[in-house]
């Protein structure tokens, strides 16, 4: 069976699906309400990855002037290993270019080797660390930047 993957802008119909994926991927959780509020946040952009009409991933960023901060990116566990995170990032970079974003920044847990490898493969460069940035458990964050060409 062929998959029908697409990436769309966040809307209310996708909030429950995004929240479900958020809960399965992150220790420190946003509430469902916080995710829904991103729809009306002028600085926020959330792209939702669909398999037909089923939410299977998302990326959330904040655009401020010419910079963006990637707050979250996740793909449903059962869809991992299919390069769908790259699909999300490609669409995000298209959006960034259309909005005049020159660079993205993000933080990642120092122990999250899967995410670190993913970001470095895309071209993110390590620019620093934040001591004890994360709670539950307490852990350092690695800071990354990506220049948008």
Mode of pairing for the β-strands spanning 44-51 and 139-147: unpaired
> Phi/psi at 93 (nearest 5 deg)?
-65, -35
Binning pLDDT at 50, 70 and 90, where does residue 136 land?
confident
137 vs 110: CA distance, rounded Å: 12
116 vs 119: CA distance, rounded Å: 5
- Spot the catalytic one: 14, 22, 38, 107: 107
Indicate whether 5 pLDDT > 90: yes
Write the CA distances from 65 to 100, 104, 116, integer angstroms.
Answer: 8, 12, 26
Q: In terms of CATH, what superfamily is 5-147? A: Gcn5-related N-acetyltransferase (GNAT) (3.40.630.30)
Which among 127, 147, 122 is positioned nearest to 67, based on CA atoms? 147
21 vs 45: CA distance, rounded Å: 17
**What does the pLDDT look like over 75-107, one tens digit per residue?**
999 999 899 999 999 999 999 999 999 999 999
Spell out the domain ranges in the chain: 5-147
- Spot the catalytic one: 119, 129, 133, 144: 119
CB 89 within 8 A of CB 74: no
Q: Is 119 a catalytic residue?
A: yes
Which among 24, 22, 26, 49 is positioned nearest to 36, based on CA atoms? 22
DSSP conformation class of 86: H
**What does the pLDDT look like over 23-60, one tens digit per residue?**
998 877 789 999 999 999 999 999 999 999 999 999 99
């Amino acid at each position: 069976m062929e998959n029908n993957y697409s990436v769309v802008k966040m809307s209310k119909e996708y909030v429950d699906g995004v929240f479900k994926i958020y809960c399965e991927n992150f220790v420190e959780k946003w509430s469902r309400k916080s995710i829904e509020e991103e729809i009306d946040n002028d600085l926020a952009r959330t792209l939702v990855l669909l398999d037909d009409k089923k939410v299977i991933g998302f990326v959330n960023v904040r655009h401020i002037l010419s910079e963006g901060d990637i707050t979250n990116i996740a793909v449903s566990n059962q869809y991992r290993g299919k390069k769908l995170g790259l699909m999300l990032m490609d669409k995000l970079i298209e959006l960034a270019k259309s909005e005049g974003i020159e660079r993205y920044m993000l933080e990642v847990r120092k122990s999250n080797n899967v995410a670190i490898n993913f970001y470095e493969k895309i071209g993110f460069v390590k620019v620093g660390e934040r001591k004890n940035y994360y709670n539950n458990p307490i852990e350092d964050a690695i800071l990354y930047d990506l220049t948008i060409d």
